[in-house]
Amino acid sequence: MLAELKKRVRHIIRLLKRAYPDAKCSLNHSNAFELLIATILSAQCTDARVNIVTQDLFRKYRKPEDYLKVSTGELQQDIRTTGFFRNKTTSIQGTAKALTEQYGGVVPQTMPELLELPGVARKTANVVLGNAFGIHAGVVVDTHVTRLSHRLGLSEEKTAEKIEQDLIAIVPKKEWVIFPHLFIAHGRAICKARSPLCEECVVEKLCPSSYLKTGVMPGN
C-alpha cells in the first residue's frame, strides 16, 4: 500500500514538473532575512499582496536592527494591508530582536533555532530553510497543499503538522522543497477550491476525487 502510494506520488510529481517547469517560491526576496519577514507577513494573506507591501518595506528596512529602531505604530502602518498587522508587527520585531541578540543579525539554518523565533512555526521555518538555504527539513503545508493532498488521497489528516508527516513519509526527500510549489501552482491554476478544472488536470487519472470519475464536484 505504502509502496504504491509512493509510486503514485512520484508519478504526480513528474507530471506537475512538466506542467509547471517554473514553479518556485512566489514571495519576492533577495536574502534569507527578507524571506523570513515575507513569510511571516504571508499568514492569512496572499503572496501577491505581500509582494506589494515588501516592495517598499525591504527598501525601508534592510536588516533586523532597522525593525527595532522604528516605532511599533509606524511598522503597523507599513504592513497594515497584509492583515493581522498588530500580531505580525509583534512577531517581526520579536524576531528581529532575537536575531540581533542571539545570532548576530543572521538567520539561523536549523529547524529548532528557527522555531524559537517569535511568530515562526514549521511552515515558515520550512519555507526559509528550503528556499533560502536549500535545506530539506520538511514539507511546507499551506491551504493549497492541504486541499490537493486530501483530493489526491495523500492524507486524511486535518492539521498542517499531521499532513506534513504523511507527506514526509511518501514524498522523496529530494523533492520536499519543490513539492509544495508544484501543488500551489496547480492549486491556483486548475485544482481550485471551488470548481476545480478536472477536465484540464494533468494528474486527473491519478486523482480519486475527480468529478469525471465520481460525478461529484470535490469539496474544499
User: In the annotation, is 123 catalytic?
Assistant: yes
Residue percentage of the chain with pLDDT more than 90: 95
For residue 213, the number of C-alpha atoms closer than 13 Å in the C-beta half-sphere is 13
Active-site residue among 17, 63, 142, 192? 142
Distance set, CA 13 to CA 18, 142, 170 (Å): 9, 17, 12
pLDDT of 219 above 80: no
Active-site residue among 47, 78, 88, 123? 123
**Range 2-23+139-214 has CATH code 1.20.140.10:** no
Residue 32, amino acid = A
**Range 32-133 has CATH code 1.10.340.30:** yes
Distance set, CA 81 to CA 88, 118, 124, 213 (Å): 11, 21, 20, 41
What pLDDT is attached to residue 218?
85
What pLDDT is attached to residue 220?
65
Mean pLDDT of 88-110: 98
Q: Which residue ranges make up each domain of the chain?
A: 2-23+139-214, 32-133
Instruction: Tell me what the pLDDT averaged over the chain comes to.
Output: 97
What pLDDT is attached to residue 1?
85
Mean pLDDT of 37-62: 97
pLDDT digits (tens, 9 = 90+) for 116-127: 999 999 999 999
Of the candidates 208, 136, 220, the residue with the CA atom closest to the CA atom of residue 179: 136
Report field, pTM of the whole predicted structure over 0.75: yes
